[in-house]
Chain A
């Protein structure tokens, strides 16, 4: 069955690799004070520094050579060292991979 991608839409969108999404609600016409802006900045720095999940995971599918990795055998470090593509794609602080592991989409 043909897909109609035009209809697909996030209702509640997760942050992408390397992204942090914050939903902040303010009253009409409200402007952040310098103090509040500083607090938001501090929050972001804290998230980047301490939340292990902010470093996130990355799709092996973005690697053009991912098909050379076998299903479930694409070790992230090996893959990174071999093709290099994933190095740039690792998200956030990006020095480690979390428990979600990597994904091999298996697409040709």
Chain B
């Protein structure tokens, strides 16, 4: 028996904490137990290590048998989720057009609303899948998905009817800029079983309005704040703050504003990393020249921000759960549907004709570009195979992993801040912030980004 290669030890106030990425479990050891364990693993006959401790460590996958190949196990976990046909997930672009004009947007947008013919083709795809799936999940996406509210409502109603009749679980979430999220719309989305909304605010008003202006110009901050007040009553809300070196120093001002609006404890706030993606199209991000963080810098910023957001009541410490194949791009039974019926595998490809893999009208007849995504394999990458973050990252972003310029940005931040993440959790436990014995999710987590 030996220690797992995915163990992370931290010490806090004299207590030893052990996290394991294979299980996502975190254990606070008793006094002297780490020393006893080390004696046991060194082969001491009288190590003083109890059977209960060893059993617990094995259950948390912190100890593994000598013959266990953990990387092989992860590869199996990846393949099982990559080719899982028991669930279907679609990201649906109801409108490629957007009412915002953000200078860092990675989409080559043009006005286009998902039409009736594409709706019909989408419903046919679902009907074809229903006999073999247990669950169906939709992510409403754009452009701005609420510009295409008509097809969103129409498709939702049809999806719910078909899934309920077939006994298939249905759920949805939405990524929206929040500008059109009035209370009536929130009510309608709730009826459409939208469970969570991701809304972006990039800083206090002057920063946000510069980075996320209305198309044609005009501020958006105040309207979004107004909408947050009722949105939190209808579904879970996660506020994403896209940062680079320029706006990051202003993020605490945003937290203060949200807290002053009484939103502490009612929504989550987290950071997103801005990158200057250039896929050869004419998306604004191709010419975005602000000082983007490296992945290592962003990981450090994320840690500092989490502690800040905790103080304002917008975040809680957590340790990452293990994942399978991490996103739609590398899962076989998931697709992104463009508003004109075109199909993609990656969110960052939306609007770029060079990344279209097929069309919903003939979805089973995809072109050769699909193979690029489904053959992406982090287990052939020596850096990934030897990385402590592999169980919770699984190669990260395939899109960036296949892009020479963005290669380093493919990774989950855990690669860089894993000790700090576990230490923050341990500090929080010692300070009584985290209730002890949070149950870990069973098996690979399915959605990470």
Residues of A within 8 A of B (CB): 1-17, 19-23, 39, 42-43, 46-47, 50-54, 59, 61-62, 71-72, 98-107
Assuming the contacts A8-B33, A14-B440, A47-B443, asked whether A1 and B48 have C-beta atoms less than 8 A apart, the reply is: yes
Q: Is B358 an interface residue (CB 8 A)?
A: no
Cβ contact within 8 Å between A102 and B65: yes
Q: Which of B22-30, B294-302, B304-312, B339-347 is found at the contact surface with chain A?
A: B22-30
Those 3 A-B pairs whose CB atoms lie nearest each other, nearest first: A21-B439, A1-B32, A7-B30
In the bound complex, how far is the Cα of B425 from the Cα of A48, in angstroms?
31
Q: Is B17 an interface residue (CB 8 A)?
A: yes
* A4: contacting residue among B31, B77, B440, CB under 8 A: B31
Assuming the contacts A3-B32, A12-B25, A105-B51, asked whether A100 and B61 have C-beta atoms less than 8 A apart, the reply is: yes
In the bound complex, how far is the Cα of B70 from the Cα of A98, in angstroms?
12
Cβ contact within 8 Å between A107 and B60: no
A35 to chain B, nearest CB (A): 9
* B48: contacting residue among A3, A17, A21, A54, CB under 8 A: A3
B11 to chain A, nearest CB (A): 14
Cβ contact within 8 Å between B63 and A8: no
Q: Is B135 an interface residue (CB 8 A)?
A: yes
The chain B residue sitting closest to A16, CB to CB, is B59
In the bound complex, how far is the Cα of B237 from the Cα of A83, in angstroms?
54
The chain A residue sitting closest to B81, CB to CB, is A51
Assuming the contacts A21-B442, A105-B54, asked whether A8 and B29 have C-beta atoms less than 8 A apart, the reply is: yes
Assuming the contacts A53-B443, A100-B61, asked whether A7 and B66 have C-beta atoms less than 8 A apart, the reply is: no
B71 to chain A, nearest CB (A): 10
The chain B residue sitting closest to A7, CB to CB, is B30
Q: Which of B254-262, B406-414, B430-438 is found at the contact surface with chain A?
A: B430-438
Cβ contact within 8 Å between B66 and A72: yes
Chain B residues within 8 Å of A72, by CB: 65-67
* B440: contacting residue among A7, A15, A71, A101, CB under 8 A: A15
In the bound complex, how far is the Cα of B66 from the Cα of A71, in angstroms?
9
Cβ contact within 8 Å between A42 and B134: yes
- A10, A61, A101 — most chain B CB neighbours (10 Å): A10
Assuming the contacts A4-B32, A5-B50, asked whether A15 and B442 have C-beta atoms less than 8 A apart, the reply is: yes
- B27, B48, B60 — most chain A CB neighbours (10 Å): B27
- In the complex, 21 of the A-B residue pairs with CB atoms within 8 angstroms, ordered by the A residue number, are A1-B31, A2-B48, A3-B32, A3-B50, A8-B56, A10-B436, A12-B19, A12-B437, A12-B440, A13-B440, A16-B59, A43-B169, A50-B86, A50-B134, A51-B442, A53-B443, A54-B442, A54-B443, A103-B1, A103-B64, A106-B1
